[in-house]
């Protein structure tokens, strides 16, 4: 399964499409200058246990690196992943 990305002016998502307009997994975010704010991560029960949530967060990290952004994890799942992976620390916005 390939993670896809779509973005509007100040919102976006990384996702795995399902049938019709449904998503099997998604990570939604909003953006402000210099930052990507992860709001929500959800994985359909059909895909749970396959590390899909981590893959979504990893996609967001790579996007942030490519675009020179810092991540602000409002989503508790994304925050837990980012906190556990020191190799993602370069994109994690330090608390003010």
* Class of the domain covering 4-87: alpha beta
pTM exceeding 0.75:
yes
CB 50 within 8 A of CB 59: no
Has residue 96 got a pLDDT over 50?
no
Question: What are the tokens at 50?
Answer: 């396959």
Tens of pLDDT, residues 35-74: 999 999 999 999 989 999 999 999 999 999 999 999 999 9
Please state, in angstroms and rounded to a whole number, the distance separating the CA atoms of residues 41 and 80: 12
Has residue 21 got a pLDDT over 80?
no
């Amino acid at each position: 399964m390939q993670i896809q990305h779509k973005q509007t002016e100040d919102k976006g998502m990384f996702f795995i499409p399902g049938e019709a307009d449904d998503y099997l997994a998604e990570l939604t975010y909003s953006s402000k200058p210099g930052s990507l704010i992860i709001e929500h991560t959800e994985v359909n029960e059909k895909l749970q246990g396959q590390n899909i949530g981590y893959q979504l967060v990893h996609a967001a990290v790579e996007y942030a690196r490519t675009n020179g952004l810092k991540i602000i994890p409002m989503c508790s799942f994304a925050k837990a992943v980012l906190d556990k992976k020191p190799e993602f620390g370069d994109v994690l916005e330090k608390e003010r």
